[in-house]
């Protein structure tokens, strides 16, 4: 069975590779085929590892049935390691072949906004951006800034960025919500712990082909760019503000020099927000049938607390508490994501 699957994936991989060599002037098709090719190659690698583990398990079980006590003990020790590895691989393969959301394989657009707490909230927003950037780097993903509204002390009132790579949305979709921080601000002389918050929104990035937007539904305005405190930073009308009239969603982009570039970025963000709007409704309906709200996408829900004095991280949705906040803020969030995925899967069963 495994051998047949591996051979099938090899054939599909070769066919896609051939198609890529024949295409030269169709960037959209090249992109779609490249994504499919990467996924097939990933699955092929996983199935080949699974076949190796199956063989090793079979050999270990065969050794256990022999009379040599020392060899039996070694084989049993090997099985203790191999069986969980096999289960982990099967789970990963199932996740790729049967995504929980139709957008799980998509890239994302992430928005981080400072909430209550003034400058301290803006600094925390910058800390969250660093955490996600480091995590993306660990995964071999790319991060690209779309829009930034900085504060004078190194924080962000708002930052919007794209993360592209393999199965980005499936890994980061649980990050939407209110992230609360408890720490002593540098300016606090009495050493009192302050509580601040930042809001994170994770949206699957979609192509223009995936979502048609009626031009009649849009109100597009060109304005001058503004900096800290609202002052105008240039006199040309390069900033773009787009309002989607049916939903009331408003997007503004001003970081690029030309009006056309800002409009393209604003439309990119608008498409993502519209998809997220529909996805949030769908996930909330599903969440209503579950015991907890994991993956509900509700941006007003308090999902995390980051307590600096105690080096403590808490995810309130799954009751997870870790005393390794320094590592987590450096992007070490793989295990947290794994636990969230596991909970989501259990709730679907």
Question: Cα separation of 199 and 111, whole Å?
Answer: 8
Q: What is the pLDDT of residue 233?
A: 47
Neighbours of 135 (CB within 10 A): 23
Average pLDDT over residues 319-343: 94
Question: Cα separation of 312 and 305, whole Å?
Answer: 8
Strand boundaries in the chain, DSSP class E? 108-114, 142-150, 156-164, 177-183, 194-204, 218-223, 239-244, 249-253, 302-307, 312-315, 320-322
Q: What is the pLDDT of residue 183?
A: 94
Average pLDDT over residues 76-105: 84
Q: What is the pLDDT of residue 344?
A: 79
9 pLDDT more than 80:
yes
Q: What is the pLDDT of residue 230?
A: 47
Residue 311 · residue 287 · CB < 8 Å: no
Poorest-pLDDT segment among 8-22, 102-116, 203-217, 251-265? 203-217
63 pLDDT more than 80:
yes
Percent residues over pLDDT 90 in the chain: 40
Average pLDDT over residues 312-321: 95
Non-local CB neighbours of 217 within 8 Å, separated by 6+ positions: 244, 245, 246
Q: What is the pLDDT of residue 215?
A: 87
Per-residue model confidence as pLDDT tens digits over 23-42: 767 776 777 788 788 888 88
191 pLDDT more than 90:
no
Q: What is the pLDDT of residue 115?
A: 92
Highest-pLDDT range among 7-11, 225-229, 231-235: 7-11
Closest CA to 150 of 225, 251, 203: 225
Residues of the chain with CATH 3.30.70.1660: 108-348
CATH 3.30.70.1660 given to domain 108-348: yes
Average pLDDT over residues 96-109: 82
In terms of Cβ atoms closer than 10 Å to its own Cβ (0-12, 13-18, 19+), residue 41 is middle
Average pLDDT over residues 245-262: 87
Average pLDDT over residues 302-314: 95
DSSP state of 141: -
* Average pLDDT of the residues of the chain: 85
């Amino acid at each position: 069975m495994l051998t047949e699957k591996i051979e099938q994936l090899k054939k599909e991989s070769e066919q896609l590779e051939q198609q890529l060599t024949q295409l030269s002037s169709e960037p959209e098709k090249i992109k779609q085929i490249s994504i499919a090719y990467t996924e097939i190659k990933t699955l092929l690698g996983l199935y080949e590892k699974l076949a190796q583990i199956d063989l090793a398990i079979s050999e270990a079980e065969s050794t256990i049935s022999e009379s040599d006590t020392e060899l039996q003990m070694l084989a049993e020790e090997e099985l203790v390691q191999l069986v969980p590895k096999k289960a982990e691989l099967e789970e990963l393969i199932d996740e790729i072949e049967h995504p929980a959301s139709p957008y799980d394989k998509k890239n994302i657009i992430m928005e981080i906004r400072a909430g209550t707490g003034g400058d301290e909230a803006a600094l925390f927003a910058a800390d969250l951006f660093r955490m996600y950037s480091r995590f993306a780097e660990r995964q071999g993903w790319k991060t690209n800034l779309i829009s930034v509204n900085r504060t004078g002390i190194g924080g962000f009132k708002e930052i919007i960025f794209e993360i592209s790579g393999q199965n980005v949305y499936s890994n980061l979709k649980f990050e939407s919500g209110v992230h609360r921080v408890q720490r002593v601000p540098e300016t606090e002389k009495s050493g009192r712990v302050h509580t601040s918050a930042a809001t994170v929104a994770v949206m699957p990035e979609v192509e223009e082909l995936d979502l048609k937007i009626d031009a009649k539904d849009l109100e597009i305005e060109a304005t001058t760019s503004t900096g800290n405190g609202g002052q105008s930073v240039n006199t040309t009308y390069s900033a773009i503000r787009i309002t989607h009239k049916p939903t009331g969603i408003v997007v503004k982009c001003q970081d690029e020099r030309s009006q056309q570039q800002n409009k393209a970025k604003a439309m990119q963000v608008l498409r993502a927000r519209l998809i997220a709007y529909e996805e949030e409704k769908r996930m909330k309906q599903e969440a209503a049938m579950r015991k907890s709200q994991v993956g509900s996408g509700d941006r007003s829900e308090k999902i995390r607390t980051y307590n600096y004095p105690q080096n403590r991280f808490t995810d309130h949705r799954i009751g997870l508490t870790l005393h390794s906040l320094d590592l987590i803020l450096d992007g070490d969030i793989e295990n947290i994501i794994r636990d969230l995925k596991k909970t989501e899967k259990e709730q679907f069963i």
